[in-house]
Amino acid sequence: MPAASQRVPYSVAARELLRNTLLDAACHELQGRHWADITMADIAVAAGVSRQTLYKEFGSREEFAQVLVMREAESFLDAVEQAVKGNLADPQRALAGAFELFLTAAEENPVVKAIVVEEGAEELLALLTTHGKPLVERAADRLTEVMMDGWPLMRRADAELLSDCLVRLAISYAALPSGPATKTAAAISSLFEPYVQKLVRSGSS
């Protein structure tokens, strides 16, 4: 039997459940509406709680939006990280997997879609950048660390430059898609593959 000190207290578990229920409700609302059109009352109703309960857990719409964006972003970045780590022996495949994940998320994940292409994106991005690193910087930082861990010969300056370029390029294609995510991801990774191979093998640009 696990030690009592390792068990999650009921109050903590209950609060986590409540927070996730509220955040999931917002994601559900975003599937058919723009963020700017969704009120806190709408989210409370969708979650099956009172507006007072929502405000007690999240003091303001701004705070709620920050937590929502960060939760979805971290979950998405975890998936991108695993896509790269799972293909370290094949840099082109690693980049293609990460690109395809991002472009697919921009099409399907309501929060990522709202940030990248839907109305209300400016508000969500402004809320995120006011109290922390911009989403672009956070994503680039995570990708840099994955590259440094997986490809130790790569110089940090090169990894940072490549990560920043890839993230910004992915956002551009997500906002203005030119075709299916799989096809776009394959084309971009093919374009970058010679440069990445050089960095991975020689550690110099």
Distance separating alpha carbons of residues 175 and 140, to the nearest angstrom: 18
Q: 6 versus 145: which is more confidently predicted? A: 145
pLDDT for 196 equals 92
- For residue 118, the model assigns a pLDDT of 64
Query: How far apart are alpha carbons 44 and 7 in whole angstroms?
Result: 29
pLDDT exceeds cutoff 90 at 138? no
- Looking at residue 205, what is its pLDDT? 47
**Contact status, residue 11 vs residue 32, Cβ threshold 8 Å:** no
CATH code of the domain containing 1: 1.10.10.60
pLDDT tens per residue across span 150-159 = 999 999 999 9
- Are 65 and 139 members of one domain? yes
Verify that 146 and 82 share a domain, yes or no: yes
Is the pLDDT assigned to residue 189 strictly greater than 70? Answer: yes
Q: Token pair of 147, please?
A: 């590259």
178 and 85 co-located in one domain: yes
Residue 122 has pLDDT above 80, yes or no: no
pLDDT digits (tens, 9 = 90+) for 67-103: 898 888 888 888 889 989 999 999 999 999 999 988 8
Domain span including residue 55: 1-59
